[in-house]
Structure 1
Amino acid sequence: MQISPGNGPYKLPNPDTSVHTNPKAKDALRAAQLYYLQDIKMEVIARELGVSRSTVSRLLAHAKRTGMVSVKINPSANLSALVSNQLAEKYGINVHLVPTDGSMDDTELLQRVSAHAAYLLGTIVSSSMTIGVAWGQTMQAVSAALTGHPTHDSVVVQLNGAANPVSSGVRYASEILTRFGQAFTARTEQFPVPAFFDKASTREAMWQETSIHRVLNIQREMNLAVFSLGAANSNLASQVYRGGYLSKAETRQLSEMGVVGDVATVFFDKNGDDAHIEINARATGPTLAELRKVPRRFCVVSGRGKLQAVRGALNGKLITELVIDEGTALALLDG
């Protein structure tokens, strides 16, 4: 925490007659001037005033208590700003830290972070943009918190398919996409494919279909990608793990391969690498190499259960802007 500068870090009022007639007040004012404005150590002040160091400490406390000294906190230099700056410098990204009091559970954290992300998106999205949006629990919360910011000639495109053996997933993904479209008065483009194909060869064939190829071309025009990170160990289990998208054998295999998270159902390890993970050849989200080509990659994360996932994504250069709660950010710095 820093103290805001004016003519000095502390503001001292002009001495009045009461200071001159009160020896204690006079010494307190003199001690405050030397300590706060001239940055002189207490030991030196004690010698100058002919008192003990503990007396100087009491005089300074008296100066604060009686209003001789007023302290102003600079909000731009608080703990959140310091942590944000350290993360930004470490990873070369823009960090938006969401202050929390440490007593929130993961559901409350999600709502707080998602509301902040929705606000930020309102300042980022502009006309003639193509915005790629992933689906998931966090994106659902972000979409619900969006407010109206009309644009012109903008497009919101779904980043990955949503169908699985249990559900078509269309309604779930469509709801998120629709909210983004309504908030930014943008055209929406759904991606009518499953989250994972049964075979990589099926995906290769489907990618040649005219209707699918059209959506892929829109994705390649993205100015902004908006997503969260899936993580198996999160207290709020990611939709890809709890929604019937993976078999028990696939979940076990991902763990054995060192997978720490996913972006739009494309999995990665602690280094942000996806090349050796077999299921990615069947996934319908953009490859990580394709994602890195998007100029702005806006990631929303809450809760320490996603700590390994966000660290891996940062190591892999998948994020340019991160919205994250304060507790998880501090843990990220400690790692």
Structure 2
Amino acid sequence: MNASPKDGRSSSSAHSSTRESARSRSGDALRAAQMYYLQDLTMNAIARELQTSRSTVSRLLSLARDTGLVEIQVNNPAHRAPSLENEIRRRFGVEAHVVPVSGTLDDSEALDRVAIQAARTIGPLVDSNAIIGVAWGSTLSAVSQHLTRKSTHDSTIVQLNGAGNTQTTGIAYASEILRRFGYAYGARVEQFPVPAFFDHAETKTAMWAERSVLRILELQRRMTMAIFGVGSTNSGIPSHVYSGGYLDEADLRMLHEKSVVGDVATMFFRADGSHRDLQINQRSTGPNLDLLRQVPRRICVVSGETKISGLRGALAAGLPTDLILDEASAHLLVQGSSD
């Protein structure tokens, strides 16, 4: 009977010790980063000063980068932005971030490179009191795995579109992406537990009148930022909406007949950006594209040359304000566009 209080003190002491250890390690990482990046000390010199090994200093510097204590930026010495980024800005009116990717990499490796850059670009843009809409898909799944921690207050991550289909609820896939975003920014996560597409537009109309759904829709209307990829039927890494059983043969045939080139958050569009007359959008649970255009900051992440037609459609529709893409895709985008 007398063991319980002792066990409680022991458990409390262990938790306290763990927190102290984490704070101490974070403090060491900060000191190592300041000496390495601000004072130009070598890792050997830092190791001597901290009375530790060179390998420990290397791990502390990695910790500083991974936890956001250090953010590394490479500036072009001739311009604030490379000419390719400037050209995209001039032609499409979006803030462009072009990721150098070797042509020897496969589609998966190229996506990972773009995802790393996207995660590092998005972090500094996230502020407290933000409402951030996040779409699910192959690209955003990759981005979510590279996010670094940043403390914010009263921020919310809201799911942009439902994820269920006839084969799965989609909850596990979409919620894991949202969870990573919420964890990275210390934000509350609001899921949207509806299917990606309703069988009938009338069902969507009825559901959109329900108070539980209206609460999510209201958050979406107040978004300060939206983050999404571009879906495409023929990309090197198939877009999840096309490969995950969300569309049947009749849907795919209709998309082809209507000259659809891609989608953002399961809302479809043509090469010229038109979308209002596409009936499938009446069944989709993605955000109305007219509403999406009202979000102050809209970050689009694209990897793979096969997504260019979809990207051009998204740009024609005026969906992104910021674009993060690989270098080969950027060249194709500029070469295939006219003033």
TM-score normalized with structure 2 length: 0.76
Q: Distance in 2 between matches of 1:287 and 1:199?
A: 17
For the Cα contact (< 8 Å) 1:80–1:99, is it kept in 2?
Answer: no
Deviation of residue 101 (structure 1)? 2.1
Q: Distance in 2 between matches of 1:130 and 1:230?
A: 23
2:83 aligned residue: 82
SS at match of 1:157: strand
Deviation of residue 202 (structure 1)? 0.4
Q: Does 1:243 align with 2:229?
A: no
1:183 aligned residue: 184
Superimposed CA distance per residue, residues 169-195 of structure 1 (whole angstroms, 9 cap, x where no aligned partner): 001000000000000000000001000
CA RMSD of aligned residues (A): 1.3
Deviation of residue 79 (structure 1)? 12
Query: What letter corresponds to residue 163 of structure 2 in structure 1?
Result: A
The 5 A counterparts of 1:287-326 are 287-326=288-327
SS at match of 1:140: helix
Q: Does 1:254 align with 2:258?
A: no
Deviation of residue 244 (structure 1)? 0.5
Deviation of residue 77 (structure 1)? 3.5
Stretches of structure 2 that go unaligned for 5 or more consecutive residues are: 1-74
Write out the 4+ residue segments of structure 1 that deviate beyond 3 Å after TM superposition.
76-80
Superimposed CA distance per residue, residues 37-91 of structure 1 (whole angstroms, 9 cap, x where no aligned partner): xxxxxxxxxxxxxxxxxxxxxxxxxxxxxxxxxxxxx934479710000010101
1:173 aligned residue: 174
Stretches of structure 1 that go unaligned for 5 or more consecutive residues are: 1-73
Deviation of residue 256 (structure 1)? 1.3
Q: Distance in 2 between matches of 1:203 and 1:154?
A: 28
Superimposed CA distance per residue, residues 116-145 of structure 1 (whole angstroms, 9 cap, x where no aligned partner): 000111111010000000000011000011
Deviation of residue 315 (structure 1)? 1.0
Change (3 A) 1:149 1:79: closer
Q: Distance in 2 between matches of 1:300 and 1:220?
A: 22
1:232 aligned residue: 233
SS at match of 1:235: coil
2:138 aligned residue: 137
1:274 aligned residue: 275
Q: Distance in 2 between matches of 1:117 and 1:159?
A: 18
Q: Distance in 2 between matches of 1:131 and 1:155?
A: 6
Q: Distance in 1 between matches of 2:229 and 2:117?
A: 14
1:24 aligned residue: none
SS at match of 1:132: strand
Q: Distance in 2 between matches of 1:158 and 1:300?
A: 17
Q: Distance in 1 between matches of 2:87 and 2:254?
A: 35
For the Cα contact (< 8 Å) 1:160–1:284, is it kept in 2?
Answer: yes
SS at match of 2:162: coil
Change (3 A) 1:78 1:248: farther
SS at match of 2:174: helix
Q: Distance in 2 between matches of 1:302 and 1:80?
A: 20
The 5 A counterparts of 1:183-202 are 183-202=184-203
1:101 aligned residue: 102
Aligned pairs, number: 262
1:61 aligned residue: none
The structure with the largest alpha-carbon Rg is: 1
Q: Distance in 2 between matches of 1:249 and 1:330?
A: 35
SS at match of 1:225: strand
For the Cα contact (< 8 Å) 1:80–1:97, is it kept in 2?
Answer: no
